[in-house]
Structure 1
């Protein structure tokens, strides 16, 4: 990971740049550049955490779980469903790791 501790002017705002190489879905490394207002070291870590959450929600919406298709409105039922889907996601992930 590479961080620039110099402020850059971007569209009238002073920002920092943070860059790292990540592998795309084909396993090919790509350059990822983040524009941030705070410490660039924190931006990369925060983005990684956020991406994990986004990936989890995408899996819950698709990948066979289709959680949105339930059309539930009762919060207790939704909470139980989300908990069960999370457990199923973890199980599927662990099974996939062992293969």
Structure 2
């Protein structure tokens, strides 16, 4: 049996077709979309994880731990930057860049020019602290 679940979004519709529980289909889809976004950041839109060609589980696990920290750092910097200078909105109504990309670009600029941006690097590390 196949179920179709939908909802109206502004002037459009979101339809999800599932052979699983229709009651949770929209929530499941939202989680799946978040996971796809995460993998996109880890792969082609950011860290290029797949280019490492790692095969040993222990090394993959360690690298994923570091990438998770880096991803969180980029998001925090992106959120801060967005609060200072909003990301422009394109004609289709979505941001020109994700919060991750906004922070990633800022951190990349700092790290690639570390000799000139030492103070900014020290400032950026404060986003890693929980206090």
Return the TM-score normalized by structure 1.
Answer: 0.69
The whole-number CA distance in structure 1 between the counterparts of 2:41 and 2:57 is: 21
The alignment's C-alpha RMSD in Å is 2.0
The whole-number CA distance in structure 2 between the counterparts of 1:54 and 1:65 is: 14
The whole-number CA distance in structure 1 between the counterparts of 2:29 and 2:58 is: 30
1:75 aligns with 2:62: no
User: Aligned with 2:73: secondary structure?
Assistant: helix
- Unaligned 5+ segments in structure 2 are 82-131
Structure 1 residues 96 and 21, CA gap change in structure 2 (3 angstroms): farther
Q: Which residue is 1:66 aligned to? A: 48
User: Aligned with 1:32: secondary structure?
Assistant: strand
Cα deviations across residues 37-90 of structure 1 (Å, max 9, x unaligned)? Answer: 344230000111111111101111122300111111221111100111111111
The whole-number CA distance in structure 2 between the counterparts of 1:32 and 1:77 is: 39
Higher helix share: 2
Aligned residue pairs: how many? 81
Structure 1 residues 71 and 38, CA gap change in structure 2 (3 angstroms): closer
Return the TM-score normalized by structure 2.
Answer: 0.54
- Unaligned 5+ segments in structure 1 are 1-13, 23-27
Structure 1 residues 93 and 42, CA gap change in structure 2 (3 angstroms): same
Structure 1 residues 29 and 51, CA gap change in structure 2 (3 angstroms): farther
Higher strand share: 1
